Amino acid sequence: MRAALEATGLGMRYRRTWALRDCSVTVPPGRVAALAGPNGAGKTTLLQLAVGMLSPTAGEVRIFGAPVREHMERVAFMAQSKPLYPGFRVEEMLRFGRGLNPRWDEASARRRLAELGIPPERKVGRLSGGQRTQVALTVALAKRPDLLVLDEPLADLDPLARDEVMRSLMAAVAETGLTVLLSSHVVSELEGICDWLIVVNGGRVQVSGDIDDLVAGHRLLTGPAGTADALAARLPVISRGGTGRQATLLVRDTGPLPDPRWSARPVNLEEMVLAYLRAPDLAAFPRPALAPAR
């Protein structure tokens, strides 16, 4: 099956600075993929390259097997700034979208707004942050994309609005089977929603793969601090912690523990992502990294 998105050797340089380098990632069709990473990691750059808004300095992006520019009508993008005109009424935003998009689905956009209780005659500038996000999402979905790319869709929203936006996005995914790629700082909120993960850090891809497989492949070990170095020498350690006599090691390993004084427990998505973000040079470790070596 063709990947919904496939980036190979992707690089983007702004003047002398590489915002993204040697980036190779795949998002299989039908997945809801999370793009995580710290500020300035290159998330927005990767998303803008993915939708053809930027031309790469190196490498290429393919959407459903073809160069992104040949498939622009199959992709919808919601920018971080949620570009809506505050002086426009909601229905004027729809009319605007209708004029620009041959695949536009007016009926489903109207139905969605009605379900959300957003009056079409309301001016965009008078909507709440959550409602504005929902209108921007409605416009993006009305394009009937096969790939929906969202840059920080949850930023600036309170927990209730975040929950509502994610629920309605998931309903759209269930209905249409579209592939979603969304960036977020709030990793804990992506668990149970996203099933694919890409972590970028310092312009490089650090982690890429199926979330269940990734999480199941890592564990948190706890044991006596005095033996931590010896254990760490035998296992692929992603991050180390602990206090006083107790040490913790987050490892990419599920085999039997070589030291009976140590115990293991599963990790959650946030713990795993944080461990990688704390170890940006992971690919320099002697064990294989999850992403191609730098």
Ligand X SMILES: Nc1ncnc2c1ncn2[C@@H]1O[C@H](COP(=O)(O)OP(=O)(O)OP(=O)(O)O)[C@@H](O)[C@H]1O
DSSP-derived 3-state class of residue 218: coil
Any contact of residue 208 with ligand X (CB under 6 A)?
no
Any contact of residue 42 with ligand X (CB under 6 A)?
yes
Phi, psi torsion values for 56, nearest 5 degrees = -70, 150
Q: 267-286 burial by CB neighbour count: b if 16+ within 10 A, else e?
A: bebebbbbbbbebbebbeee
Nearest to 205 by CA among 151, 285, 288, 276: 276
- From 22-30, 38-46, 85-93, 274-282, give the range in contact with ligand X by CB under 6 A: 38-46
Any contact of residue 52 with ligand X (CB under 6 A)?
no
Any contact of residue 45 with ligand X (CB under 6 A)?
yes
Strand order in the sheet with 32-36: 75-78, 147-150, 179-183, 32-36, 196-201, 204-210
Q: What element of type H or E holds 163?
A: helix 159-176
Any contact of residue 44 with ligand X (CB under 6 A)?
yes
Judged by beta carbon, residue 142 or residue 198, the one nearer ligand X is 198
Q: Which of 43, 71, 82, 132 binds ligand X (CB under 6 A)?
A: 43
Total residues interacting with ligand X, rule: CB under 6 A = 11
Q: Which of 4, 41, 141, 161 binds ligand X (CB under 6 A)?
A: 41
Judged by beta carbon, residue 28 or residue 38, the one nearer ligand X is 38
Give the C-alpha separation, 114 to 213, whole Å.
39
Taking the complex as a whole, how short is the minimal distance between the CB of residue 45 and ligand X, in angstroms? 3
Pick out residues in 144-163 that bind ligand X (CB under 6 A): none
Contacting residues toward ligand X, per CB under 6 A: 14, 17, 19, 37, 39-45
